[in-house]
Amino acid sequence: VNIHDLARHLNVSIGTVSRALNGRSDVNAETRQRVLEAAEKLGYSPNQSGRSLRQGATGIIGFMITTNRERAAKGEAFFMSVFEGLQPFLAERGLDLVVLLCSAAQDPFAYLRRVVERRIADGMIIAETQRIDPRIDYLITRKLPFVAFGRSLSGGDHPWLDLDFEGVAEQSIDRLTRLGHKRIAIATASSEINYGYLFVEACRAALRRRKIALTDELVIREPLTEAGGSRVGERLMEMHDRPTAVLLVDNKMATGLYHNLYESNLVPGRDIAIIVFDDGPQAQYLSPALTCFRVSLTDLGRKLGETLIGAIEGTASGARPQQTIWPMEMAIGKSDGFRLRGLSDRSASRAETHRRLKPK
């Protein structure tokens, strides 16, 4: 049932039907009522393709993420929370959110290009930005409004939103150095995902401010997965002068690291301090609970929406694109809260904690 059927059924023209349904003012109140009722009764609903063709816009916002576990920054739980904030925000503005998944086997750039060329979406949000990300330059030249979730060396004056790596690094390093730690390892992504670099650099800067050098040996690159975290544990064990603290860029790593430490009869939060960049559903259920950084992902999703709307409207008005650093709040757990003193104290506390745990 299309608009012609409905118009014929009502003995009015398709123009009137269209106007009535789109809430235009120049239509008789009674006529509108009749149209609305008939549309409901016949189950009429405008065809999106016809509408998009005529209006030159689809009303769709695409959110591109990759399903690649190895490289993927976040699991679906993370994005679900972001969408939970983003989707209602867009819906209020008559925009539909669709998630566009690029599988591991595909080239993300080719995937995006296809989406853009077919004009499937009026705006895009891209996640998992790479250090050099051709998608950004492409979107700029194509003049398609977009927001990059994550900074990048590509582009420049485009809209983006990113987490506060500098703030997190500063707070983490501050806390650890106050507790006496000097030898601090950083576990980051093995892929080219940009925030892996950002976080390491932010930590390096925070350490330098305290006259501590971050040597290459202390930067551990592994996949952001449980398995990667386990490898981090192995690599810590291999070091001749084992770090007393480690910062993880992803919470999933913590699960693997904890496992590996317990296997080696080390207790997180006693024998080695652990702070994690991001929160995760299991963070508070690990023993000891993780010290990590919290963020309201639904608020963040909403902000992504606001930034995109700004980009869409700004394309006309020429306003400056929004570039936002999203703050994160430290949630103190038990994975890092011990003070390094002398070696004697440390081995004593180690002996004590060995009583419990690890049935295996």
Partner DNA sequence: TTGTAAGCGTTATCAA
Partner DNA sequence: TTGATAACGCTTACAA
Residues that bind DNA (CB under 7 A): 2-4, 11-16, 18-19, 21-22, 25-29, 31, 44-47, 49-51, 53-56
Q: Which residues contact 56 (CB under 8 A, 6 or more apart)?
A: none
105 vs 343 by CB, closer to a second copy? 105
Minimal distance, residue 296 CB to DNA, in Å? 36
Binding range to a second copy, per CB under 8 A, among 48-56, 184-192, 197-205, 209-217: 48-56
- 134: preceding bond cis by omega (within 30 degrees): no
162 vs 250 by CB, closer to a second copy? 250
Q: Is 75 among the residues that bind a second copy (CB under 8 A)? A: yes
10 vs 169 by CB, closer to DNA? 10
Q: Quick one: what does residue 11 bind among a second copy, DNA, none, with the CB cut-off 5 to 8 Å set by partner type?
A: DNA
Q: φ, ψ for residue 285 (rounded to 5)?
A: -105, -5
Binding range to a second copy, per CB under 8 A, among 13-21, 69-77, 171-179, 306-314: 69-77
- What DSSP element (H or E) covers 180? none
Residue among 279, 256, 276 nearest 335 (CA): 276
Q: What is the C-alpha R_g of the chain?
A: 26
Residue among 149, 345, 332, 104 nearest 244 (CA): 345
228 vs 321 by CB, closer to a second copy? 228
Minimal distance, residue 103 CB to DNA, in Å? 25
Specify the length of the chain in residues: 360
Q: φ, ψ for residue 167 (rounded to 5)?
A: -65, -45
Q: Between residue 212 and residue 251, which ones bind a second copy under the rule CB under 8 A?
A: 225-226, 229-230
Q: φ, ψ for residue 213 (rounded to 5)?
A: -90, 140
| Cα separation, 96 vs 121, whole angstroms | 9
List the one residue from 46, 134, 314, 337 that touches a second copy (CB under 8 A).
Answer: 46
Alpha helices, DSSP H only, in the chain?
3-10, 14-21, 29-42, 48-55, 76-92, 108-117, 134-142, 165-178, 194-208, 226-238, 251-263, 297-317, 343-353
211 vs 356 by CB, closer to a second copy? 356
List the one residue from 9, 119, 131, 242 that touches a second copy (CB under 8 A).
Answer: 119
Minimal distance, residue 131 CB to a second copy, in Å? 23
How would you list the strands of the sheet with 219-222, edge to edge? 219-222, 184-189, 245-248, 273-276, 291-294, 329-331
Q: Is 205 among the residues that bind a second copy (CB under 8 A)? A: no
Minimal distance, residue 314 CB to DNA, in Å? 22
Would you say 101 and 67 are in contact if contact means Cβ atoms under 8 Å apart? yes
* Contact residues: a second copy, CB under 8 A: 43, 45-50, 52-53, 58, 67, 69, 72, 75-81, 83-84, 87-88, 91, 96-101, 103-106, 114, 117-120, 225-226, 229-230, 252, 255-256, 258-259, 262, 267, 269-270, 281-282, 284-288, 334, 358-360
